[in-house]
Amino acid sequence: MSVSVGDPAPDFTLAGTNDSMHSLGDFAGQPLVLIFYPGDDTPVCTRQLNSYNDGLERFAEVDAQIVGISAQSVSSHDTFSDKHGFGFPLLADVDKEVAGRYGTLGPLGWGDKVVNAWFQGVTSRTAGFNTIDIGAMNETTLLGTSVLMFIGAGPASTSGGIKVTTFAVLACVIWAEVRGERDVNVFRRRLPLSMVRQAIAIALLSVGFVVVASLVLMASDGLALIDALFESTSAFGTVGLSTGVTGSISTLGHLVLVAIMLCGRVGPLTFATAIVLRHRSRLYRHAEERPIIG
């Protein structure tokens, strides 16, 4: 369902901040601005609601009332409103029924959804272009995009990340271990042990770099986990996508992103080797020991 200019506004009754209840009839006879936004405390939504809050005096001049509506709970709205000092109510449309009446759900048709999903899946490998608002994505989509950015594209390309070949080798290692095979065989070819070790080292180093960068962003700038993880993974994959927080983080956060971007571009193993600055072969081997695994 969609609402066109001139159509009667669909009625609603929703619970809101400060233990209040609001319906459309409460605002009869005055201009009403309904703001449907994806989520509390997301970077883009926060900036947009703050911009409305900063202009409350101008809305008051024409006796207009502002009301925000999203699918989060009343308690989430209360925390969000208290944190930013909003001077207008936030209503909880938990089942998204009101959003559906006003036609704010799924504005793209099926064809456009498929095209945008395909484009975002491809561009998150390194290109960094976006056709939809990254900051308005839900956490599930942000996590999925982070995985794609972490893997990256093919080797010998301009992308960052661990590369698809590293991911494929790790998948083959797991499959061989599950099957109880001694060697890792792919398409009737055996992968050398040195390649397996290299793939594991790259993956573990990459996870470590991204986790440390995310922790620094969370500690220094107070970012939420998903925002810090997305920014760190985007930098590691040299993608350039952002939920909108890049410009507001501290100098320390920027330096961390620069470092992890360099690491992702030259390769985590090369980056770590350059830091250690030594490479030597031992002339002896230690006795073998088998610790308990798992």
Q: What is the DSSP string of 142-159?
A: HHHHHHHHHH-S-TTSS-
3-state secondary structure of 68: strand
- Indicate the pTM of the whole model: 0.67
Strand 13-16: give its sheet, edge to edge: 20-23, 13-16, 90-92, 65-70, 32-36
CB distance 70 to 93 below 8 Å: yes
Angle between helices 193-221 and 164-178 (to 10 degrees): 120
pLDDT per position as a tens digit, 117-164: 888 888 888 788 887 778 767 788 889 999 999 998 888 777 888 889
Domains of the chain: 13-101 (3.40.30.10), 110-276 (no CATH)
CB distance 248 to 46 below 8 Å: no
3-state per-residue secondary structure call for 124-136: CCCCCCCCCCHHH
Which residue, 259, 240, 248, is CA-closest to 222?
248
Question: 107: which DSSP letter?
Answer: -
CA atoms within 13 A on the CB side of 92: 18
Low-confidence ranges of the chain (pLDDT < 70): 1-3, 104-108, 136, 271-280
CB burial of 237-276 (b: ≥16 within 10 Å; e: otherwise) equals bbbbbbbbbbeebeeebeebbebbbebbbebbbebeeeee
Distance of CA 71 to the CA centre of its chain: 19
Catalytically annotated residue among 34, 45, 66, 199: 45
Which residue, 210, 256, 214, is CA-closest to 237?
210
45 is catalytic: yes
The two tokens of residue 115 are 């095209």
